[in-house]
Amino acid sequence: MTALERKVLQVLNGETLSPPPVWLMRQAGRYLPEYRATRRQAGSFLDLCYTPDMAVEVTLQPIRRYGFDAAILFSDILVIPDALRRNVRFEEGHGPRMDPIDAEGIARLDPLPVSSHLKPVIETVSRLRTELPGETTLLGFCGAPWTVATYMIAGHGTPDQAPARLFAYRYPQAFGRLLDLLADVSADYLVEQLDAGADAVQIFDSWAGVLGEEEFARYAVEPVKRMIASVRARRPQARIIAFAKGAGVLLKTYRQQTGADAIGLDWSVPLSFAAELQKDGPVQGNLDPMRVVAGGNSLDEGIDRILDRLGNGPLIFNLGHGITPQADPAHVTQLLARVRRGGETS
């Protein structure tokens, strides 16, 4: 099977498929017992990300179990600040931590080691392309500059990313330099993933929803636009999904402003608005992950609503954010069966 025949890639090229292709954000993760077993073997989370044997294995686990239409590289958005020597670590019960950066630290950042540091990740992409079934789309990814910057400024995640927002107001030039650097090294990283065999890539802006209109344009739109332009200048046929979680009405022009082929939608986006966005091109989403935890009728009803409103246009069925550790693997089986038979009407 050629790349152009892979279903997710067909939708990214503007086609409408019925039923739509389906994959789930964080489909390789803690809800799967086989993932938990591999994770215990790995030691640290970053060791798992940087060990191709293990990263390939956990990427393939949900494909073997469920046969999703796409596999997404198992890695993390914070490998970029780790490559920038910010001492990234993942603490059990606390999540990611790193050394916070200030304006002087931003001025000293050296992007040169990034590519060599991430060679194990690129090896994982290359191996995945040879080991995946021919019909399975391979997705690479990275974090958007704004979201990655929020962790770099605070040194950890916060409920509203106030440290990064405050830093951006107080030190706009330094913050602008940080966003530009992250955009440039992330674009290089995406190109390397595409060259290694990724069919398409996704840019995750998980904290876009905390920004006001002006800040969204400056910190979310412009850096992603810079990234996509950089990737396309070198790989004109690249297919790119941009996911700005929580952006709401600001998504109305997000595709056009950034140049993304498809936009990911979180579960708070009304389906009536999603249908309007779909008139401009493919959309991806947007089932509430809690419906997968709930299962039963709640899960079926959520799936059916999305298929009813968005199934007649270019759609990649997905969650509105990552699957949670509490999800029952049997509920994922239920989800796939429901999507693939086209909901209740088929």
Catalytic residue positions?
Answer: 26, 30, 39, 76, 151
DSSP, residue by residue, 31-51 = TSHHHHHHHHHH-SHHHHHH-
Which are the contacts of 301, defined by CB distance < 8 A and separation ≥ 6?
none
Phi first, then psi, for residue 262 (nearest 5°) are: -140, 155
Which among 338, 191, 197, 208 is positioned nearest to 266, based on CA atoms?
A: 208
Tally of CA atoms within 13 A in the half-sphere of 293 that contains its CB: 9
Number of H helices and number of E strands within the chain? Answer: 18, 9
Q: Residue 270 in 3-state DSSP?
A: coil
Q: Three-state SS string across 134-192, please?
A: CCCEEEEEEECHHHHHHHHHHCECCCCCHHHHHHHHHCHHHHHHHHHHHHHHHHHHHHH
- Neighbouring residues of 102: CB distance < 8 A, sequence distance ≥ 6: none
Estimate the share of the chain in helix, then strand, then coil, as percent rounded to the nearest 5: 55, 10, 30
- Nearest C-alpha neighbor of 311 from the set 274, 267, 261, 280: 274
Distance, in Å, from the CA atom of 196 to the CA atom of 184, rounded to the nearest integer, reads 19
Tell me if 240 sits within 8 A of 260, measured CB to CB: yes
d(CA 228, CA 214): 20
* C-alpha distances in Å from residue 283, one per residue of 109, 168, 243, 320: 36, 31, 10, 11
